[in-house]
Structure 1
Amino acid sequence: MNRRNFIGASLVGLTGLMVRPAWAALPDALNPALLTKAKAALEQHRKSVVHTDIIGIADYSLHSAKPRFHIVDLESGKVSSLLVAHGKGSDPKHTGWLKNFSNVPGSEASSSGAYLTSNTYTGKHGLSQRLKGLDPSNNLAEARAIVIHGAWYAEQKMVKTHGKLGRSQGCFAFSETDLGQVMARLTPGHLIYTGKA
């Protein structure tokens, strides 16, 4: 192979690497098995999901001190990982580990399954976003007022001071800084998948 052909072949190879989503280079925090489940949920609920380019994945097998909410661009393969708090009822002793999921009203627990992002509003937690549960494991999300909102106890300084985040009443609670990114990228009609790897 002459030098020109070698360079040409190299460029073709590089182009292929740049075009395809870089799933081989996923952050350690994003578990491939959970990504597979999230993609399956996206396919299952495709009729309900308006936007299929970006999804959110909450990996509650990770400790609350870890960035475990992943905003995944399925077209480019880019992943942004953020801190997110889980519900009190899922971690009664406040260890930072989610012990169980629940869909029971009053449980103050996080629920597993697929959610559809809905409209934003301003409530007692400030700017918030409603969620619709798409699975039997979370279909009472609206009745339970499970939403996305910002919270002081989901800030990075909580991890530095206490080694873990505080707990919500079952909602997806983010730092005020990260809340803007979540709402800007997961606008109404996107899928969020919650589970354990």
Structure 2
Amino acid sequence: MTRLIRSLWLAAAVAAFSTPLMASTASAPSLEQSLAKAAPTLNKKVLRHALAAMQCAINNGSEPADRLAVIDFSRPSTERRLWVFDLKRKTLLLRELVAHGQGSGENFATRFSNTEGSHQSSIGLFRTAETYHGQHGYSLRMDGLEPGINDRARERAIVIHPADYVDPRWISRHGRIGRSHGCPAVRPEVARMVVDSLKGGQFMFSWYPDRQWLRSSAYLNCKPQRVAAILAAGKDSES
């Protein structure tokens, strides 16, 4: 009888200690929930697509990243439509103004291209690469991961760089901030922070509700064989 009582007491003690831990684990917020809470002004659908595209790339051969930048090009240039997240800490690092290309539109970007000389922005999933000092100062190169959508970003010199025309004072005079040749340019005051946060193989996702892209993107629709082939081709070209 004594042995039975001890066994029951031990079982109750184990349950008392383990139950709160299990409940806490079960209720832990997901990455999407944490980032949505950190950036309540970012459209949840856009965030969901960004995370899904990134996860598709990782699941099919791409290295995980510590940072994710999201640009919502459905918003006007007068709004802070660039978000940079710390994925490990599940926090928002900054939300900033970002330019679109001259060929993409005035205050709103409505046209996107992968073509040299179009001066249009590109949408889709990118991987950041190396930093360099160029005509705009401290800048960051990127590689587009989506064939036909943004994979000519490097040869088009689509980079993150500082630009004086990304300035709130332009808004009262022009009804928009200044525009680039397709680069996601940012304010000079925050450019180094943006570049240093994103350099060295982080992800950037540029969103616009383009129907053809939404239907065909290998990342948004997560087509494993196609994504794996794309990533393998990219690694071969680097070697």
TM-score class, shorter? 0.7 to 0.9
The offset of 1:186, in angstroms, is 0.8
The offset of 1:18, in angstroms, is 9.4
Relative contact order, higher structure (CA 8 A, sep 6+): 1
The offset of 1:28, in angstroms, is 4.1
Structure 1 contact 50–190 (Cα < 8 Å) conserved: no
**Which letter does structure 2 place at the counterpart of 1:130?**
R
Runs of 4 or more, structure 1, over 6 Å off, are: 16-20
Q: Output the TM-score relative to the length of structure 1.
A: 0.82
Which one has the largest radius of gyration?
A: 2
Q: 1:68 aligns with which of 81, 101, 106?
A: 81
Q: 1:113 aligns with which of 101, 124, 134?
A: 124
- With over 3 angstroms needed to count, the CA separation of the structure-2 counterparts of 1:143 and 1:31, relative to structure 1, is same
Structure 1 contact 119–129 (Cα < 8 Å) conserved: yes
Structure with greater strand share of residues: 1
Distance 2:125 2:87 in 1: 16
DSSP 3-state at the match of 1:34: helix
Root-mean-square deviation (Å): 2.4
Describe how 1:42-121 pairs up with structure 2 within 5 A. 42-46=54-58, 49-79=62-92, 80-91=94-105, 94=106, 96-121=107-132
- With over 3 angstroms needed to count, the CA separation of the structure-2 counterparts of 1:130 and 1:88, relative to structure 1, is same
Structure with greater helix share of residues: 2
The offset of 1:78, in angstroms, is 2.0
Q: Output the TM-score relative to the length of structure 2.
A: 0.69
The offset of 1:163, in angstroms, is 3.3
DSSP 3-state at the match of 2:129: strand
Match of 2:174 in 1: 162
DSSP 3-state at the match of 2:185: strand
Per-residue CA distance 1:32-83 (angstroms, 9 max, x = gap): 1111111111112226654523200010011001000100223333222100
- With over 3 angstroms needed to count, the CA separation of the structure-2 counterparts of 1:70 and 1:128, relative to structure 1, is same
Structure 1 contact 69–83 (Cα < 8 Å) conserved: yes
Tell me, which stretches of 5 or more residues in structure 1 are unaligned?
1-8
The offset of 1:188, in angstroms, is 1.1
Per-residue CA distance 1:141-180 (angstroms, 9 max, x = gap): 0111111100011123223443311100000100111111
What percent of counterpart residues are identical? 34
- With over 3 angstroms needed to count, the CA separation of the structure-2 counterparts of 1:22 and 1:60, relative to structure 1, is same
Tell me, which stretches of 5 or more residues in structure 2 are unaligned?
1-19, 210-239
Residue range with higher mean Cα deviation, 22-31 or 80-89: 22-31
Number of residue pairs matched by the alignment: 182
The offset of 1:24, in angstroms, is 5.1
Distance 1:77 1:181 in 2: 18
Describe how 1:1-197 pairs up with structure 2 within 5 A. 22-23=34-35, 25-46=37-58, 49-79=62-92, 80-91=94-105, 94=106, 96-136=107-147, 137-196=149-208
Structure 1 contact 132–142 (Cα < 8 Å) conserved: yes
DSSP 3-state at the match of 2:178: coil
